[in-house]
Structure 1
Amino acid sequence: MHCYRHPDVETGIRCTRCEKPICPDCMVSASVGFQCPDCVRGGSGTGHAPDANQPRTLAGGRVAADGRLVTKILIAVNLALFLAVQVAGDRFTDELVMIGFAYNPVLGEVVGVADGEWYRLLTSAFLHQDVAHFVFNMLGLWIIGGIVEPELGRIRYAALCLLSGLSGSALVYLLDAPNQASLGASGIVYGLIGSWVVLARRRRYDMRPVLLFVAISLVLTFARPGVSWEAHIGGLVAGAVLTYALVHAPRARRALVQYGACGLLLLIDLGMVLGRTVALT
C-alpha cells in the first residue's frame, strides 16, 4: 500500500476510521490505533495530538500558505546588502566580509574572526560584490529553496539556511589562508542542495537527475578559479546531515532529535572556530 497523502511512500498502516493507508508522517495517535489527518480534522475521530487539524510538513513543521516566505526574506536581505555594497563601496565590504586574521590598510587596523569579529561568519554569507555572483546565488536560493522550504517548514528551513551558511564559513576559517577574504551565499545554496538530495531520497524520487545536478555543481566548484570550495563543501555536508536528522527523527522524540541535531552542528562549528582562533593567536 501507499499513503493516500504521499503516494510515493509505502506503508502497512490504515486509518482506524476510514481505512485509508497512512504513512508515519500522517499518523495521528488515537485511543485505538492511528487516524488520518482528514478524519481528525473532520471531527470523526478522537485523535490526541495537539494541533492535529494543522497539516504538517515532512519534518513536522506547519504547512504555510506561502511556501517561499523565508526564501523571499533571505533574498531581500541579500539584495539590501548588495545595494549597500554598490553604494558604500569597499569600506562597507571590509567590515562584513569573511576573513580570518589580517591587517587592513584601509581601516588601519587588524581585522578578522580571530580578532573577535565573529559576526563575519554570518554576515559574509549574505554579501556579494559581483552582479553575476549575486544573480547566480539568488537563482539557486529561489529555485532550490522553493523545493526545500515547503518540505521542512519555515522554522526548520530558516535554521537549515543559517547553519549551512555558518558551517561553510567555519570551514573557510579553518582551512583557508587567514588573510584570504571570501563572501557570498554559496554556503547556504549548497546547504539547500544537500538538503534536496536527502529529501528526494526520503520521498523515493528518481535520484539520477538530482545526483547529476550535484556532480555538475561540484565540478564547477573545483574547476572555476577563485571559488571558495570550503564554503561549498561545508554548506553541502551541513545541509545534508541536518536535513537527514530533521526528516528521520522518530515521531515520539522528534523535537528532541531535531533540536539536538541543530545544537550538535552548532557545537561542531564552534569547535572549528575556537580551534582555528587558538592556532592563529
Structure 2
Amino acid sequence: MSYVRCQRCDRPACPQCQRSAEVGVQCVDCVASAQRNLPAEHRPPRFADKHGQPIPVVTYVLIALCGLAYVAQWATNGLSTGVTESLWYAGFYTSAASLDSQFAALSGIGFEPWRMLTSAFLHSMSSPMHLLLNMVVLWMMGRTLEPALGWARFLAIYLISAFGGSVAVLLLANPLAPVVGASGAVYGLFAALFLMIRRIGGSVVSIGALIAVNLVISVVWSGISWQAHVGGLVVGAACAAVLLFQPKSDQTLVGAEEAAQRRRRIRRRQWWGLAGVVVILMVITAIGAMQITPESLLAARG
C-alpha cells in the first residue's frame, strides 16, 4: 500500500508511478496530462527534419499556393473570367460605388471584399521576377519566424498584413488601378522579424537597412504599389507587437501548472489583440469605402 499521494490529483502513487516535480511528487497520469497541455512553442515540433529542426510547413504551403495561382493565371490568360481579373484587387471592389446596384450593373463590377486577400496570392504576369523575389523573401522570413512564433501566429501575421496592404491601397491608390502580389504580406513579415530581433536584444541594423532600401525602391520604381508595401509593413508591426510585447509572468512564485495557465492567458491576449487589429482594419475599410462614390470614380477615370 502506498502512503505517498500525487500533489495534483491526491491519489495514492506507488513507487513505480511516482515522478518528482517542482511542486512535489506527481503520478504518471498527471505528468502526461501536464505535457499535453504545454503550449505549442514548448512541445517538440510536429514536423522536423532528420536533425530535429522544425520544418516551416505553412511557409512552403504559401509558396506552393502562390506558384499554383501563377500557373492558373497563365492558363486562363486572355479569358474574360481569367484568374488574374477574378482575384486582383482595386479600391472599387470595396467602395460605396460598388454597393450602388445601378452603377455596379453598368460597370459590371460588384462588392467583392475577398479580393483584399486573394490578390496577395497573384503576381504580375509580365514579370516572373515579381513572383520569384517575393517567394525567396517569404522562404527566408518563414524559416525564422514560423518556428519562433508557431504556424498559426505566423499565418495570422501573413494574412492580416496582406489585408493591411489592401486597406492602404484602398485609402491611397487610384481606386480603378488593380494590384497583385504578396509584397504587402512579405513586408509584414519584415516588420515582425525586425521587432523579434529587437525584442531579444539583437542588432536590427541589417534588417532595418533592408526594409529602408526596399521602401525606397517601391516609391522610385514605377509599376510597384508602394501603398501595399507601407500598409503591410505598418500592420505587420502592429501584429508582431501584440504577439511579442506581452507582460512577463513571475515564474519564480508558481509551479508548472500555474505557469502553463499563465502561458494560456498570454496566448488568449495575443489572439484577442490580433482580432482587435482586424477589427480596426475593417473599420478603416468602411471609412475608405465611403469616400469612393460613383462621382469620384468618374473623376478618376476622366
TM-score (norm 2): 0.70
Residues 1:176 and 1:153: Cα distance change in structure 2 (over 3 Å): same
Map residues 25-40 of structure 1 onto 2, 5 A cutoff.
Answer: none
Residue 255 (structure 1) aligned to one of 245, 267, 271: 267
CA displacement 1:37-63 (0-9 Å, x = unmatched): xxxxxx542469944785753xx7974
**Which residue is equivalent to 1:150?**
147
Residues 1:56 and 1:110: Cα distance change in structure 2 (over 3 Å): same
Greater helix fraction, Structure 1 or Structure 2: 2
CA distance in 1, matches of 2:223, 2:35: 49
Q: In the alignment, is residue 192 of structure 1 matched against residue 180 of structure 2?
A: no
Map residues 107-186 of structure 1 onto 2, 5 A cutoff.
Answer: 110=107, 115-128=110-123, 129=125, 130-186=127-183
**Which residue is equivalent to 1:235?**
232
- Secondary structure at 1:184 match in 2: coil
Shift, 1:89, TM fit: 0.8
Residue 100 (structure 1) aligned to one of 68, 74, 91: 91
The unaligned stretches of length 5 or more in structure 2 are 1-6, 9-18, 24-30, 49-53, 98-104, 250-261, 294-302
CA displacement 1:140-197 (0-9 Å, x = unmatched): 1001111111110011111111101011011111211110110100011101000000
**Which residue is equivalent to 1:221?**
218
**Which residue is equivalent to 1:77?**
65
- Secondary structure at 2:21 match in 1: coil
Output the amino acid matched with 1:235: G
Shift, 1:244, TM fit: 1.6
Equivalent pair of 1:125/1:184 in contact (CA under 8 Å): yes
Map residues 17-28 of structure 1 onto 2, 5 A cutoff.
Answer: none
**Which residue is equivalent to 2:299?**
none
Over the matched positions of the two proteins, sequence identity in percent amounts to 31
Larger RCO, structure (CA 8 Å, separation 6 or more): 2
**Which residue is equivalent to 2:74?**
86
Equivalent pair of 1:173/1:276 in contact (CA under 8 Å): yes
CA displacement 1:48-97 (0-9 Å, x = unmatched): 9944785753xx79744343100001011101100000110153211110
Equivalent pair of 1:101/1:110 in contact (CA under 8 Å): no
**Which residue is equivalent to 1:210?**
207
- Secondary structure at 1:101 match in 2: helix
Output the amino acid matched with 2:289: T
Equivalent pair of 1:62/1:153 in contact (CA under 8 Å): no
Output the amino acid matched with 2:182: A
Q: What is the CA RMSD across the aligned residues, in angstroms? A: 2.7
Residues 1:50 and 1:279: Cα distance change in structure 2 (over 3 Å): farther
**Which residue is equivalent to 1:9?**
none
Shift, 1:212, TM fit: 1.6
**Which residue is equivalent to 1:14?**
none
CA displacement 1:24-49 (0-9 Å, x = unmatched): xxxxxx99xxxxxxxxxxx5424699
Residues 1:116 and 1:150: Cα distance change in structure 2 (over 3 Å): same
CA distance in 1, matches of 2:108, 2:182: 21
CA distance in 2, matches of 1:111, 1:178: 15
- Secondary structure at 1:182 match in 2: coil
CA displacement 1:243-278 (0-9 Å, x = unmatched): 121122235331232112111111121112111222
Residues 1:210 and 1:168: Cα distance change in structure 2 (over 3 Å): same
Aligned length, in residue pairs: 234
Residues 1:170 and 1:51: Cα distance change in structure 2 (over 3 Å): farther
CA distance in 2, matches of 1:232, 1:124: 13
Rg (Cα) greater in structure: 2
CA distance in 1, matches of 2:119, 2:238: 22
Output the amino acid matched with 1:166: F
- Secondary structure at 1:132 match in 2: helix
